[in-house]
Amino acid sequence: MSNFAQAANFEGQVPRIDPDNATMLLIDHQSGLFQTVKDMPMTELRANAITLAKIARLAKIPVITTASVPQGPNGPLIPEIHEAAPHAQYVARKGEINAWDNPEFVAAVKATGRKQLIIAGTITSVCMAFPSISAVAAGYQVFAVIDASGTYSKMAQEITLARVVQAGVVPMDTAAVCSEVQRTWNRPDAAEWAEAYSAVFPHYQLLIESYTKAQAVISQHEQLDSQRS
C-alpha cells in the first residue's frame, strides 16, 4: 500500500482538492481514441474533459496535456481543451504508453511545485490508470476523474476503478471536481462557473435561464415600485 493510501486510511478520510496545490493532467483526449469509448456517450466525455479545462483556467490551476502518437490512428488532441485553457502546456511523448514514463512529462509536473494531481485520460484503463498509479508511487495525491476519461466497456471501467483505488487514487466525477475546486458561489466569477456546469449538466442551463429571467422580473418590479413612490 502506498504512503498516501496508508495516510488516508489512518486518518479515516481522503484529502480535499486544494486549488493552490493542484495540477491538472489531461492525457490522450484524442479524436481517434474517443471513437473506441463504449462506457459512456462520447459527447458527454468530450464535454466533461473540456469542462475540466475551463475550471482549471478559472481557478488558475496549471494544466499539462499530452497525446499518444497523435500522428497515427489515435488522432490529435481535441482542440477545445487548449482553447478552454490557453495556459495549458503540451508535452510531446516519444511513444511511451504510460505518460509518466516520459521524463519531460514528469519534469513538467515537478516544475509546478504542486503535490496534488487531477488526472483524466482516454483510455481510462491505460492513459488514466497508468500515470495515476505511477504518480501515487512518486508521492503525489491523485484524484482521477472517471467521467472525463472513457474506455472500451463498463467492465473495463469497473476493473480499472478497483485497481486505482487499491493503489491509493481517489476517484471523482467532473461535477464533484468543479464543486470542490470552486468552493463557493460567493465569488465575482460565479457566472462563469455556472456556465461551465451547464456543459456537465445540460439541464442546468435551463435553471440559469429561469433564474436570470426571475431576477430581471424582480428588478423590473422594483423599478416600477420606486417610480410610483
Residues 41, 128, single domain; the answer is: yes
Show Cβ contacts of residue 89 under 8 Å, excluding neighbours closer than 6 positions.
62, 63, 64, 65, 108
Q: What is the pLDDT of residue 227?
A: 76
Q: What is the pLDDT of residue 215?
A: 80
How far apart, in whole angstroms, are the C-alpha atoms of residue 154 and residue 37? Answer: 10
Asked if the model's pLDDT at residue 8 lies above 50, the reply is: no
Look at residues 139, 142, 136, 132 and name the one whose alpha carbon lies nearest to residue 170: 142
pLDDT tens-place string over residues 77-131: 999 999 999 999 999 999 999 999 999 999 999 999 999 999 999 999 999 999 9
- Mean of the per-residue pLDDT values for the chain? 90
Q: How many Cβ atoms are within 10 Å of 154's Cβ, its own excluded?
A: 11
Can you give the residue range of the structural domain that contains 204? Answer: 190-228
Report, as residue numbers or ranges, the catalytic residues: 127
Q: What is the pLDDT of residue 72?
A: 92
Residues 21, 127, single domain; the answer is: yes
Last residue of a domain, one of 166, 182, 198: 182
Residues 207, 165, single domain; the answer is: no
Phi, psi of 150, deg, nearest 5 = 125, 135
What residues pair up with 199 in beta bridges, in sequence order? Answer: none
pLDDT tens-place string over residues 125-148: 999 999 999 999 999 999 999 999
Residues 178, 215, single domain; the answer is: no
Q: What is the pLDDT of residue 211?
A: 75
How far apart, in whole angstroms, are the C-alpha atoms of residue 66 and residue 155? Answer: 26
What pTM did the predictor assign? 0.86
Average pLDDT estimate for 18-32: 97
